[in-house]
Amino acid sequence: MIRITEIAQKQVAEVLREGDRAVDATAGNGWDTLFLARLVGPDGRVYAFDIQQAALDETAALLRKNKLLERVDLIHAGHEAMASYVKEPVAAVMFNLGYLPGGDHSIVTRPESTLRGLAAALQLLKPGGLATLVLYPGHAEGKKEKEALLEYCCGLDASTFGVVHARLLNREKPPPELLLVKKFSR
């Protein structure tokens, strides 16, 4: 079984080093936050955003269980406000869009705020850094979000950013898709 979320994590593991800063733009149940917290090590820092307190509580519990809570700032705000909270360059930013698994499915990421969050993330990325976005075009809002993100990414300056769009082809229902945005080293 190939999971798009695992491909995103493998790509992040290629660029994230101990001592780095990283952002989980959609903390959810905390799996990406935990993954990032392990990679940045004791001298690194992870900023994890979510608009739902329930998601941040789940993430805190997972981190506490793994004794990694002290490496993470849990931020109850939308990722569109990222620049107000993160004031240093980051090596990786992960977005896993859509709704909180096991939570309220009407609370989903929205195209306008996701675009603002991605723009903020790309400003914060240090050269060589990577933003990953897992997209869910199988629901109506997710389809609009995917189209808006693809249009935005097609317009990014090709001398500064490289963009990859990946999807599984042999599925009937629209499966999750992946966007990778790499900021080139100078």
Q: Which is nearer to ligand SAM, 64 or 158 (CB)?
A: 64
Nearest to 184 by CA among 127, 115, 136: 127
> What are the structure tokens assigned to 159, written together?
């001398």
122-83-118 Cα angle (round to 5): 35
- Is residue 148 a contact residue for ligand SAM (CB under 6 A)? no
Lookup result for tokens 């090596």: 91
- Is residue 51 a contact residue for ligand SAM (CB under 6 A)? yes
List the beta bridge partners of residue 184.
none
Characterize the bridge pairing of strands 21-24 and 90-96.
parallel
- Is residue 8 a contact residue for ligand SAM (CB under 6 A)? no
- Is residue 137 a contact residue for ligand SAM (CB under 6 A)? no
Only one of the segments 23-31, 39-47, 118-126, 155-163 lies at the binding site for ligand SAM (rule: CB under 6 A); that segment is 23-31
Task: Give just the sign of the alpha carbon dihedral 74, 91, 102, 100.
Answer: positive
Q: Which is nearer to ligand SAM, 11 or 26 (CB)?
A: 26
Q: Could you give the C-alpha distances from 18 to 46, 71, 100, 135, 162, in angstroms and in order?
A: 11, 12, 29, 28, 24
> What are the structure tokens assigned to 174, written together?
């629209």
Determine which residue in the list 16, 23, 55, 91 makes contact with ligand SAM, applying CB under 6 A: 55
Count of residues interacting with ligand SAM (CB under 6 A): 21
Q: Which is nearer to ligand SAM, 26 or 182 (CB)?
A: 26
Q: How far is the CB of 150 from ligand SAM (least distance, A)?
A: 19
Q: Which is nearer to ligand SAM, 33 or 45 (CB)?
A: 33
Q: How far is the CB of 115 from ligand SAM (least distance, A)?
A: 11
Determine which residue in the list 15, 44, 46, 50 makes contact with ligand SAM, applying CB under 6 A: 50
Single-letter amino acid code for the residue at 165: H
Quick one: DSSP state of residue 88? S
Residues in contact with ligand SAM by the rule CB under 6 A: 25-26, 28-32, 49-52, 55, 78-80, 96, 98, 100, 107, 109, 113
